[in-house]
Amino acid sequence: TKAEADTSAATTEETTVIRYPSADLQGDAQAVAKALGVPLSAVKKSTDVSGVTLVVGADWREGTAYKAKAQDNTTPESADVLNGAKTDACMHVNKDYTWS
């Protein structure tokens, strides 16, 4: 309810960031990040701000919620397949650290 736009000629940020000035406002900054879908890694302590400050970066193109890039969780084609069928490829396990 106290949000206001900064009309100063600020430098452009590549990524969206939420800044807070002191440890007592860290939780508030994290709550803003959670509410907007901004990753917690974008929450940074900064003495350049006097309160929790959201800086919309070039990675936030439209809408009212941050849309992070989809992560590529696929296995690279260069990865070798390894399973228990290839006994010569598996690491030797010391018998002292096994149980039945």
Tokens representing residue 90 in the block: 């598996």
For β-strands 17-20 and 43-45, DSSP reports them as parallel
**Secondary structure element (H or E) that encloses residue 45, with its range:** strand 43-45
pLDDT in tens, 27-44: 999 999 998 888 899 999
Give me the domain span that covers residue 39: 12-58
Number of domains comprising the chain = 1
Tokens representing residue 22 in the block: 């002191």
Cα–Cα dist 37/30, whole Å = 10
- Please report whether residue 5 resides in a domain: no
- Please report whether residue 90 resides in a domain: no
Q: Are 15 and 40 in contact (CB under 8 A)?
A: no
- Please report whether residue 66 resides in a domain: no
pLDDT in tens, 51-88: 999 988 877 766 666 776 655 667 777 766 665 566 66
- Please report whether residue 41 resides in a domain: yes
Q: Are 82 and 89 in contact (CB under 8 A)?
A: yes
